Amino acid sequence: MICKKCGSETDVLLRFCKTCGEPNTPDVSDLNNDFNKHKTNFLRIFGIVILFMLAISAMVFYFDENNKTVNNDEVEKNTGVNKVRQEYIQQIVEYTKKDMTIPSRIDELTTIVDITAEPNSIKYHYVLDNSTTTDSLTESYINSYLKNSVCNDELIRVELIDQNIDIEYSYTVKNSDRKLFFKYTKQDCE
């Protein structure tokens, strides 16, 4: 709107002219012109917001579709998570080996002979004495016992399993071809 006294442009919503202080008395044409100006600005802003939202949607769709073709191992390799996890596993294995004597007798049947850092897991290697007691140990019994031990140990859960570090157990029966292998993951403990 144009001030009738000084001729400067002023907002139709102001009661007085910003320049001379004259009271604004807009007529209908001033209100229509001002409304059309605000409507045009609103439509421009609305259009920009819609275009921005469409661009964001397209990017989300694009990245979502691309991520479907990439498996988690590739993502971890690219982000370095796998390397950090492997270094953490190696440190745990080294610390554990320093803290215990290997080989070491665990019970009357079992000797731990090694602990190794594997890709995404820690592997415990055992030798079982070949005896009638060993023959009576079923694979399902050992599996149940180990799973319960791993999944219910708070330290193992927090420090390893919840960090997607698996626990593996390898058993070789002395003077026999019998070998047993067990692996426990985060999914096994849920």
Q: What is the pLDDT of residues 163-183, one digit of tens each?
A: 899 999 999 988 888 899 999
- Sequence spans of domains, the chain: 1-69, 99-184
Overall pTM surpassing 0.85 (yes/no): no
How much is the pLDDT for 167?
94
How much is the pLDDT for 79?
60
Task: Assess whether the previous peptide bond of 23 is cis (omega < 30° from 0).
Answer: no
Note every long-range contact of 77-86, with CB atoms under 8 Å and residues 24 or more positions apart, other chains counting.
82/120, 85/120, 85/163, 85/164, 85/165, 86/117, 86/119, 86/120
Q: What is the pLDDT of residues 146-160, one digit of tens each?
A: 999 999 998 888 889
**pLDDT tier at 20, thresholds 50, 70, 90:** confident
The fold of 99-184 is GMP Synthetase; Chain A, domain 3 (3.30.300)
Residue keyed to tokens 């229509």 = 32
